Every structure is written in C-alpha cells, then in structure tokens.
Chains A and B, each alone.
Chain A
Amino acid sequence: MKTELVAEDEPSAQQSAKLSKAETPSRNRRWFAAHSVSGGLILIPLFIIIATGTITFFHKELVAWQSPELRRPAPEAVTELDHLIGPALSDVPEEARSMRVNLPNQWLPMIKLEWWLEGEDEAYTRLIDPTDGTLLDENKASSRFADHIYQWHFLNPLPMGLEIAGLIALIWFSLTVSGVYMHRRKLWSQFGEWKNRKDRSLKSWIHTTTATLTLPLHLIYGVTGAFFGLTKIALPLFMFIGFGGDQEKMMSQFSPDVPQPEFTEATVAIPPLDPFIAKTLETKPDVRLLDLFIEKPHNEGARMHMHFEGVNGGKGEALYDIHKSQTPLFIGGMDEGPMALQILYPVITLHFGNFGGVVVQVIYAIGGILLAMLVYAAARMWVMRKQKDMPRSAKIVERLFDGFALGILPAIAIYAWANRLLPSTVASRSDVEIMIFHGSWIVIGLLILAIGTSSLRRRILMYGTVVMLAIVPFFDGLLLQHWPWSAASWHVPSVGIINILLILGAVVCFAFPPMRKKARPRTR
C-alpha cells in the first residue's frame, strides 16, 4: 500500500476542508443545544403548570368535591330570582365595583352572590338556598381548593406569574418545534424500540414517545397558553402599532357591536332581575342560565352580562343596561358574536377541553399525565447528561426539581387533608387551607434540597401522594357518613366517582407489579 508521510500541523487541503465541515455543527446539533438549554430553564415551572392544569380539567367536579357538607341533589333550574336573593341583595353596597349571581347547578347546588369593591380583589359572598332563599353558612363552601390549584396553573400567586407562564408556554412551543425537527425521521419507528433500554436511554424513549403521542396537545397549549399569558405584553403592541394607540378601537374587535356603558355619578337601587331572565329565556328557550354579572350595579349605566349554556355546551351571553331598558342590547352564542371571537373562542375551548363532555375531559387528563411524564423524563435525562460536566449544578437542579416540582403532588394531598379536617368554624378557613398547602410545599422542597434525593425518595413522594389522597374519601365517611358506597356520596355522581378513583388509584399502584419494583438505594 502506498503511503505518504506528512506533518500533522500541515494538513492537506482536502483534509482541512473535511475538518472545517466537521467542525461546523449541524442544525440538528445546534437545535438540540437550544432544546436542551431552554428546556432545562423551564423544567420546574412547566411541571407545576402541567400537573395543576391536568387536575383543573375536573374543576367543576372539584368544586363539588371540596365542599362535602353541601352535597345534595341538583335543584330545578331557577327562573325566578328576586324572591330568593332579595334580602341578600340589599347587602351589596352602593360603591360595589361589580357583582355576580351564580345560579345553582349540580356541582354547587346553591345560589352564590358575590360582589367586589373598588381596589379590592377579594369577593364578599353570600350563599343562598335555592329552595327557600335562606342564608347558608358561607364557611361550608369557602374552600378554594379547585380555584387555587387552577391559579397555580398560570402561576398567578407569583409576581408577574401570568406573564412568566405565557413566556414558558412560548418556550415550550419552540421546544416542540425543535423536538419535531430533531426526531422527524423516527417519529413512528421509535415506538418499536423500547426493548433493552435502561436509565437515560429509557428516559429518552419515554420522553420522545410521550412527546409524539401528545403532539396535538403541545400545539394547542403552546399557542393558546402563549395567547393567555402574553396578553398583557402583546396587546399593548397590537394597540400601538395596529390600532394607532386606540384601545377601544382594538377591543371593539372582541365585543358585540353595542355602545359602551355610560356610567354617571348617580346611584339607584338594583331593579328586579326576573324580567331580564324571562326575556332571555323567551329568546333562547333551550339554554341553561349560568350566571348574571353586573358592572357597577347601583350606577345608572349598569351593564348586565347574563351568561348561558346551550344544549350542546356552547356558551353565549345576553347584554342589558338594567336601569334603562329590558330590551337586550345583544343576545346570542359565541358563534354569533364578532368575527375575532368566532375564531378565538374555539381555540380557547380547545385549551380547556370543555367541548365534548366527560370523554374529552378524560382524554385531556390522560394527555396531561403523559405530558407530566415527558417533563419528568426530560428532567432525569438533563440531570444524567450534566452529571459528568457539571456535577454540582446537576445535583442542585435534581433536588430543586424533586423538591419543588414533584413536591407539589404531596402538598396537594396535604391540602386535601386540610380541606377535610379543618372544622368549618375556623375563621378564614380557605386561607388557612392555602397556608397549609404552601407551607407543606415549601417544607418538602427545602427538605429535599437539604437532605438530597434518590429514586427511593421520589417513590416515597409519589406513593405518599397516592396514599394520602386515597384516605380522603374515608374522612368523608367518618366525619359526615358520606362513605364512597353510600347514596349520599352519589348525590353528585362525579364526586362519588372521584372518591372511588382515589381509592382505586392506590390499589392499582400497590398491586401492579412494575410499581413494586425494588427501588435502588442511591442517595445523593
């Protein structure tokens, strides 16, 4: 074989061209780095957003579940309100910024009157029995379990939480784009490659397959999540550049073509509301009324938004100037409103998964669990990959993820315990529940940060959550005689189903062989 000796520091022209090409990272490699870096930054909040969002698909059911003392059969549709809410309505002060009357439904079989004062976020509440109009103990329905978990879905308790959640949704969408690009050649073939995988390779397989299965959800949540979260940032830009700085002109694209309410200095008593209900039901006889929201109820220009739901689940509203006329300014479904809403409403509905009943809710919830697995696998992969180059950073990220992202799960279970065990006589019961939730979450996070984590400790977090949640239905039985198998627990069927599922969840976890696999005692 003919060989030629050359100096190493003087490569041939051909070799140097080859080297130069090889040194240039491919787009796949560059996008992988982008995927890894931006993904690593949002792992923890993204897991919190996905976990709380998955639970929130059952918000209505949880509203009933969080108030066991109020469980009773759903009342008949209320079509006359004035004789029921009259006395409570007199408590609404003249300076009220707005008020809402929630009509009873199968999940909360009470009339709920709320009002807000200028400069205050907290609502003042009255609970009214829809059968005889008597006032009920507000503390019995004061829990904000479902609402507060929903608040964490868009990080609202944090400063600028909504904007941060929006940016996270945007980065998540970009991760989807780079992920699809990197795996474009093995989107389907990867499903058959699960054998003989361990550790990081197994996590990688879980990450990519769950990402492929949930691809439609990535696209939906990326676009709509960014739209929700970035409204405050994007809309001013839309206003200044697209509409010459005219906010009213811009917002008119989203509201029916009716004149804006004209508020004056004069104050007047709230008129009877029954004629407005009758007028709406006369125009739309098949709808179910949801709530009545009134802007500045004692002002001459008060505007009422009467929200309703059609038989197919589509939402709509009727607008009235209650002190001026009983003729509606607008009445119709979202599909009859302005063009912008006609386009955006289906997009928003896609985000919430509330367009096809419980079947869609369950499908979305399964998708949510897969997404949580995806983020968990991503976190494990990231930690395993960085352990060699950045052992200290990898250890901190691992502890932070396990403590504050996985830690939210047992904290939610503790929140559920507080919801059942705190007596209704405790003042500001809902605030105490939230304090217990936040306190336990922080304690779990700090504990993991201090003592370290391991696969055993992760299992303890997960199993602890499942076991604590499975015990909650027994509290209902012991404290209120609402055993999961008794009729009282099935007054609201969805609540009975939740209780049975919580118990079944624990049974499956402990009976299913892979779950009982011996954990490796690896502590960092």
Chain B
Amino acid sequence: MTTTLATDPSPPKTKRWSIRWPGLFVPLATVISLITSVNAAILGIGLGPQNRGIGFAMAVIVFPIICAFLLNYTLGNKRPWLFLLYQFCACLLIAGLAWYVNNWRWS
C-alpha cells in the first residue's frame, strides 16, 4: 500500500467531461427543444392580450430564444438523457395546457 502526506498541496484534478453520441444527441436535443419552445410560445398566445396577432408574432420571435436556452441546458447537463426525458414530459404537459387554454379562451 502506498502512502502520501495529508498536506499534499496538489489540487484534485477535474474530471474530463464531454457529450457522448453527439451525432445522435445534438439533433435529438434540438428537435425536442424546438417543439417544447414552440409549445411554450403557443401557451403565450393563449395567455396574451385580446389581439391574437400580437401574441402570434411575439410567439414566433420568442420560440428561437427559448429553444436556444433549452438546447444549451440540455447539451450542457450532467445527466442529459434524464434532462431530455424531463423536457419531453414538460413538452407534452405544456402542449396540452396550451391546447386547452387556446381552444377554451378563443373558441
């Protein structure tokens, strides 16, 4: 058994970290982030002001912004597959909520 001094000044090395399966993972994360962001933007239309044109145009502008953040949080997550699963569930939930709000409020 080797021994060492407890006062060893060398700092512990940072573990190397990289994304696995980028060819599969980046497109998948992009598409799920895209769909989630569009759904979130549509939810905004439903909750928006009386003029739906404003809501619609703002949603179109906002969805790339939401998607960009989601994509970074997905790809830069410690457990990306788990985050992707959470995002998929959130996507379904938001889509259902957006559909309900839009069709209830504007039908």
The answer on a CB contact under 8 Å between B38 and A237 is yes
Per the bound structure, the CA–CA distance linking A238 and B58 in Å amounts to 12
**Which one of B5, B42, B56, B99 has the greatest number of beta carbons of chain A within 10 Å?**
B56
Q: Whole-angstrom distance from the CB of B74 to the nearest CB of chain A?
A: 8
Please determine whether A3 and B5 come into contact, CB atoms closer than 8 angstroms.
yes
Q: Is the CB of A171 within 8 A of B71?
A: yes
Q: Tell me whether B71 and A174 are in contact (CB under 8 A).
A: yes
Question: What residue of chain A has the Cβ atom nearest to residue B26's Cβ?
Answer: A38
| Closest chain B residue, CB of each to CB of A6 | B6
B22 touches A170 (CB 8 A): no
A253 x B72 contact (CB < 8 A) = no
* Docked CA distance A179–B5 (Å): 41
Q: Which residues of B contact A9 (CB under 8 A)?
A: 1
Q: Is the CB of A173 within 8 A of B56?
A: no
Report if A178 contacts B (CB, 8 A): yes
CA distance A441 to B10 in the complex (A): 53
* B57 interface residue (CB < 8 Å to A): yes
Q: Are A234 and B76 in contact (CB under 8 A)?
A: no
What's the minimum C-beta distance from A174 to chain B, rounded to whole angstroms?
Answer: 4
Rounded to whole angstroms, the CA-CA distance of A18 and B9 in the bound complex is 13
As a 0/1 sequence over residues 5 to 36 of chain B, the CB contacts with chain A under 8 angstroms (1 = contact) are 11100011111011100110011001000110
Whether A234 pairs with B18 at a CB distance below 8 angstroms is no
Contact indicator A177/B72 (Cβ below 8 Å): yes
In the complex, residue of chain B having the shortest beta-carbon distance to the beta carbon of A28: B76
Which residue from B2, B6, B45, B57 sits with its C-beta under 8 Å from A344?
A: B57
The tally of residues in B whose CB lies under 8 Å from a CB in A reads 55
Chain A interface main SS type: helix
Pick from B63, B98, B107: contact of A234, CB under 8 Å: B63
Binary contact track A376-394/B, C-beta < 8 Å → 1, others 0: 0000000000000000000
Interface string of A156-195 (1 = CB under 8 A from B): 0000000000010111011011100100000000000000
CA distance A12 to B75 in the complex (A): 34
- A22: Cβ under 8 A from any B Cβ: yes
Determine whether A511 belongs to the interface, using a CB cutoff of 8 Å to chain B.
Answer: no
User: Across the interface, do A170 and B64 meet the contact criterion of CB distance under 8 Å?
Assistant: yes
Q: Is the CB of A226 within 8 A of B6?
A: no
A170 touches B53 (CB 8 A): no
Residues of A within 8 A of B60 (CB): 227, 234, 238, 344
Chain A residues with CB under 8 A of B68: 170, 173-174, 176-177, 222
Is A459 an interface residue, CB under 8 A from the partner?
Answer: no
B61 at the interface (CB under 8 A from A): yes
A37 with B22: CB separation less than 8 A: yes
Contact indicator B72/A174 (Cβ below 8 Å): yes
Establish whether residues B14 and A7, one from each chain, have CB atoms under 8 Å apart when the complex forms: no
Give 22 pairs: A residue, B residue, CB < 8 Å, sorted on A: A1-B7, A4-B5, A7-B3, A8-B2, A15-B6, A19-B12, A22-B14, A31-B72, A41-B26, A171-B26, A174-B67, A177-B68, A223-B64, A226-B64, A233-B34, A238-B42, A238-B59, A238-B60, A241-B99, A242-B45, A244-B102, A253-B53
